Structure 1
Amino acid sequence: MFPLGFRVRQTRPFLRDYRFLTRYPGRLNSKTMRILLTNDDGVYAPGLAALGQQLRHLGEVIVVAPATEQSGVGHSITYLTPLVPKSIHREGRHWAWAVEGSPADCVKLALSELFIDEPIDLVVSGINSGLNAGINVLYSGTVAAAIEGAFFGVTSVAVSLERDEDADFDAAAVTARKVIGQLVEHEETAGGLFNLNIPTAATSSTNEVKIVPMGLAQYGRRYEKRQDPGGRDYYWALWTEPDNAPEEMTDLIQLRKGNTTLTPLHFNLTRHELLDQMQDWAIRG
């Protein structure tokens, strides 16, 4: 059930009193950062391991990730079943906490319970296998985990790599570590939410990081209709091009050009410019 070299042990009741990992020598701003690492591909995903290895250069890395793959779950959270963290051992020592829940569950549980007495300085989600760009961020469990971190006022970064059979997660993790290290040096990023996407082309050479907005073009609007042997209809989602071409300076186009993209996001969905106008509409119930 579990990969070679891993051992699972259920947590003890007083989880927060357990000393998870030794502190790493990497320091930033004269302080060892405590970094919460999660993902949506599951605790055994290669992207998680690669990113964790690199983030150790920035501080202490604490892994709390879904026990199974949670791709495309968005910002779902668990209400009707308990969340049970399990200790995953690697090479004879604790390596991560696996949670039977969503990426947002992992972050919410970590920040509000598991590490409430040992504050987290940075939340990083990834590396996801597959880009999370444009409006697809709204479907993404990877981005949702970062959003959950931002809910708590913790600087949060989602990291995704273009899907490829020979995806180089190690190289992408180096890029992510460099970008994140530079990002958190700026005070303006405190408590902020960021989406980092790395195309396959960018893992083989040093390239420019484009700071761009998310594209709004809608991909994948079509389904292919089929029938099962019983004559019942079923549908396969298709990856189709948008009706209107994306704008040039957006994450979608820059990724196609082989550039790494970084986008500042926020979770406040209020449309403020219309909010003021609506005050005069005298709408009644």
Structure 2
Amino acid sequence: MTSSPTTTAPDRADSAAPGAVALSGSTPPVVTSRRWRRAVTPVLLVLLWELAARIGLLPPEKLPAPTDVIRAGWLLSGDGTLALHVLDSLTRALIGLAIGGLLALVLGSLAGLLRIGDDAIDPPVQMARMLPHLGLVPLLIIWVGIGEELKITLVALGSFFPIYFNTYAGIRDIDERLVEAARTCGLGAWGRLRHVVLPGALPSLFLGLRLAIGAAWLSLVVGEQVNAQTGIGFLMMEAREFYQTDIVVLGLVIYALLGLGSDLLLRFAERRTLSWRRGLKAT
């Protein structure tokens, strides 16, 4: 009586899960397909916009066609004017985001980690949160003037609160039992911060950064319309004086693209940094 051949471990591994994707550097087809699906709606909206403008539903003096907006951007790019304005706006946004984000990170960490920091820092920040920072423009003009300081201050204020509150919440939401377990295993204060607190607070911190980037661009739109000589906001204000609607819409599109690009970069960094996290995925 002959026994049937047994299946070795490698054979079982080869035959199991025929639809599984190998752990390699290539992008799975499902992910690529999903990325294309996400682009369908924006492209469809642009096509409908173009069609409505061409058949006369949208008057060109109110909302020009996308092709007219692209043409205006091409003409401004020819002599380097557009690049100059974009570079100045990027510089203001980065400086303001760095100042506001660093201050928020420090204060949020102190308030989240130390009881005395919570008592001293969190109440005034909670009070200041209720003030619309864009409504402070008249007072900021008195304090810092109408130069570059005003624009950077507005961006810093806009980015401060999302990072502060998400840093604070990320630290406070860490399970205290994890900290106690780390202490039991012999980790000191710095070790607990590095191996428990920081990884636990990173998801909230990245969320705060994404919200702060959006608030930073929103603040810059307002700041660049106050006595600016360069920047996308200045370009839009100057075009409004001459009823150049295509350039005004171009400025809005550039703001949207800059915000989207910075958000995509941050999401990429988040995926690489938090590769250990497995959250719920949409079906």
TM-score range, shorter chain: under 0.3
TM-score, reference length from structure 1: 0.23
Structure with the higher fraction of residues in strand conformation = 1
Pair member with larger Rg: 2
- Greater relative CO (CA pairs within 8 A, separation 6+): 2
Q: TM-score, normalised by structure 2?
A: 0.23
